[in-house]
């Protein structure tokens, strides 16, 4: 037997067992029929019934489907995963749900933006001053990822008490262009107007009600002599929101400030340390995000 089965040697007791059973008249080499749980097999009707249940209620659970179809949990799970190719996911949180008109407008404005960039190149970026605002707290606790640390095997993980944000906060209004932040708003705008006197300069803001008011637009177009770049409906097309503010907030988390002067000084130290090359990268990402907006038919997105 060992010569016939060279890969796996056969035990002596198994040979004795086979010899005894074949001596008693057995002539089949197949396994005997034995009691136990039968192999589950789903039918097309089971798959169709599960599909109808899910189509009627997308939030139905596997246990509820099991009760409706009187099937085992494993069988229903195989139907959902293998037959229907479905998985259960949580919805992605977005700032707001856009209407069809708003998504169409986003596509139109993105195409206008890309057309001007293709025609004017980097000169188009040099005209733009983008404005945005953000709230900063006197204390904003670190994220769980920021407070992570290395430990050796067998050492207990560190513990940290959960602390809320401070009640005190202050709003920062930021103006920047492709070169970086403007320390003096009026001087920066005057310089921008003098550099682009023959073809003007462009002011980009978010869609806050104060920015969309008739008085604000009149002030920008007449007194500041600026062209208004249509604001986005969401933060995914605002340079400050998709890159600048997340970076600044991450750097200020976990630090406590006694008053606004300390918070302002620390924020300015970080903001003025950002190099102009990084702002040029932000504007290039701005172009890529407009292309992504067109590809997504104006719907919101988080990452490129």
Collapsing DSSP states into helix, strand and coil, what is residue 271?
Answer: helix
Contact 274, 180 (CB under 8 A): yes
Exposure class string for 88-99: b at 16+ Cβ within 10 A, else e: eeeeeeeeeebe
Supply the pLDDT for residue 146: 85
Average pLDDT over residues 231-246: 85
Supply the pLDDT for residue 137: 93
State pLDDT tens for residues 89-102.
888 777 788 889 98
Contact 201, 188 (CB under 8 A): no
Domain boundaries, the chain: 42-89, 100-142+165-295
Neighbour tally for 210: CB within 10 Å: 10
| Tokens encoding 267 | 């924020």
Whether the per-residue pLDDT at 117 is higher than 90: the answer is yes
| Domain 42-89 coded CATH 1.10.10 | yes
Collapsing DSSP states into helix, strand and coil, what is residue 150?
Answer: coil
Q: What distance in Å separates the CA atoms of residue 152 and residue 161, rounded to the nearest whole number?
A: 22
Q: Quote the pTM value.
A: 0.68
State pLDDT tens for residues 121-163.
888 888 888 888 889 999 999 888 888 888 888 888 888 888 8
Average pLDDT over residues 227-249: 85
Whether the per-residue pLDDT at 197 is higher than 50: the answer is no
Which is more confident, 69 or 233?
A: 69
Q: Which CATH architecture fits 100-142+165-295?
A: 2-Layer Sandwich (3.30)
Whether the per-residue pLDDT at 107 is higher than 60: the answer is yes
Supply the pLDDT for residue 175: 84
Whether the per-residue pLDDT at 277 is higher than 50: the answer is yes
Whether the per-residue pLDDT at 36 is higher than 90: the answer is no
Supply the pLDDT for residue 37: 55
Contact 194, 220 (CB under 8 A): no
Percent of the chain at pLDDT > 70 equals 85
């Amino acid at each position: 037997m060992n010569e016939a089965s060279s890969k796996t040697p056969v035990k002596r007791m198994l040979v004795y067992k086979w010899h005894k059973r074949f001596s008693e008249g057995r002539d089949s080499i197949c396994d005997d029929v034995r009691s136990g749980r039968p192999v589950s097999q789903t039918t097309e009707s089971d798959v169709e019934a599960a599909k109808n249940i899910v189509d009627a209620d997308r939030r139905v659970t596997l246990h509820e489907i099991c009760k409706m179809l009187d099937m085992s949990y494993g069988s229903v799970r195989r139907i959902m995963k293998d037959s229907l190719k479905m998985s259960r996911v949580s919805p992605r949180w977005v700032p707001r749900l856009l209407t069809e008109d708003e998504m169409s407008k986003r596509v139109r404005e993105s195409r206008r933006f890309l057309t001007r960039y293709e025609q004017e190149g980097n000169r188009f970026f040099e005209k733009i001053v983008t404005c945005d605002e953000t709230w900063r707290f006197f204390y904003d606790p670190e994220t769980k990822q920021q407070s992570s640390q290395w430990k050796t095997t067998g050492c207990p993980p560190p513990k940290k008490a959960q602390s809320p944000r401070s009640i005190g906060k202050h709003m920062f209004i930021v103006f920047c262009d492709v070169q970086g932040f403007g320390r003096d708003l009026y001087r920066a705008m005057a310089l921008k107007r003098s550099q682009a006197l023959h073809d003007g300069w462009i002011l980009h803001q978010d869609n806050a009600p104060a920015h969309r008011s008739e008085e604000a637009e009149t002030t920008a177009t007449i007194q500041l002599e600026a062209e208004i770049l249509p604001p986005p409906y969401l933060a995914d097309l605002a340079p400050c929101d998709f890159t600048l503010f997340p970076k600044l907030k991450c750097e200020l988390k976990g630090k406590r400030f006694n008053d606004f002067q300390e918070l302002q000084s620390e924020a300015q130290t970080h903001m003025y340390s950002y190099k102009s090359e990084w702002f040029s990268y932000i504007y290039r990402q701005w172009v890529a995000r407009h292309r992504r907006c067109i590809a997504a038919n104006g719907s919101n997105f988080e990452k490129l």
